[in-house]
Structure 1
Amino acid sequence: AHGHGMRRCRYRGQPKAHLQHVLTAIAVNIERLSGRPVTDEAPSPRPPTAFQTFLDDNDVPRPKSWRTLGT
């Protein structure tokens, strides 16, 4: 918080202060990502959720994405 100036706000007013906090959070995330080691391997897939396991156990087909439900 001290390293990025989050203790004191530079601007007056909630909208401007909120914008400063959002931009600072973006900068912190970019800084964290730049410090991560580079890997060539793909990330491991996420384990299925309990609901997905329920659907699979009961032979209920599930679409690849919830966005495809309306089509």
Structure 2
Amino acid sequence: PFLERTYEQARLKEQEELHNAIVEVISEQRASIPNTLFVLDIIRFELLEAKYKEIMGVVKLTDKPPIKKIEEKE
């Protein structure tokens, strides 16, 4: 439980700092709400895409195409 609590506290602190930094940038830019939401959605997509590529890069062992099966003669 101690490690879990410590991890949870660190995670919450990171989330709070990130939230505050993003709010600060948005406030400075004075962008419209629709544009802000659109840009946040783009960022979300980019982050998900990067994570997907990271995971697939680990799973994908080679760029070579799969070996074709030798067709059995009848």
Question: Would you call these one fold, judging by a TM-score over 0.5?
Answer: no
Q: Which has the higher contact order (CA 8 A, sep 6+)?
A: 1
Specify the TM-score bucket, using the shorter chain as the normaliser.
Answer: 0.3 to 0.5
TM-score normalised by structure 1 residue count: 0.41
Which structure features the higher share of helix residues? 2
TM-score normalised by structure 2 residue count: 0.40
The structure that has the greater radius of gyration is: 2
